[in-house]
């Protein structure tokens, strides 16, 4: 008959227990109001297989607010897109004029960046 190895180790040392400390709460980041933000709108084509993408930069919003705004812009343009980390929204296609109009209605300042 075969013997099974069992590597069971018992310890009574005091340093095996973790001391749990209360978690410090940090301040929740807040979104800046639209009137205090200037959004850069750029059309990119390079490295995307010839397809155009409208890139919006310099948002200072929480992740939740950025996702909500991204959804509104995609719906306004009737196009797909994505929200990336660092305050960047990408909308498929060249929708610079339409996006600038929607953002200005919401109180954002916009400027066209690049060529």
Q: What is the pLDDT of residue 30?
A: 86
Instruction: Scan for tokens 């909308």, then name that residue.
Output: 91
How many Cβ atoms from other residues are within 10 Å of residue 58's Cβ?
15
Inter-CA distances, 10 with 14, 16, 18, Å: 12, 11, 17
User: CATH number of the domain at 33-112, out of 2.20.25.240, 3.30.780.10, 3.50.50.60, 3.40.605.10?
Assistant: 3.30.780.10
Treating both helix axes as pointing N-terminal to C-terminal, what angle do 96-105 and 63-77 enclose, rounded to 10 degrees? 130
- Model confidence over 36-88: pLDDT tens digits? 999 999 999 988 888 999 999 999 999 999 999 999 999 999 999 999 988 89
Calculated CA dihedral for residues 76, 77, 80, 82, nearest 10 degrees = -70
- Domain residue extents for the chain: 33-112
Q: What global pTM score does this model have? A: 0.72
* Residue of higher predicted confidence among 59 and 13: 59
Q: Is the pLDDT of residue 19 over 70?
A: no
């Amino acid at each position: 008959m075969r013997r099974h190895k069992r590597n069971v180790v018992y310890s009574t040392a005091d340093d095996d227990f973790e001391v749990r400390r209360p978690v410090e709460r940090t301040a929740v980041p807040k979104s800046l109001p639209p009137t205090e933000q200037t959004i850069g709108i750029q059309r990119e084509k390079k490295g995307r297989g010839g397809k155009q993408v409208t890139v919006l930069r310099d948002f200072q919003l929480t992740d939740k607010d950025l996702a909500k705004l991204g959804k509104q812009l995609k719906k306004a343009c009737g196009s797909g897109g994505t929200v990336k980390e660092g305050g960047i929204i990408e909308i498929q296609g060249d929708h610079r004029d339409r996006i600038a109009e929607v953002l200005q209605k919401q109180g954002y300042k916009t400027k066209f960046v690049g060529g």
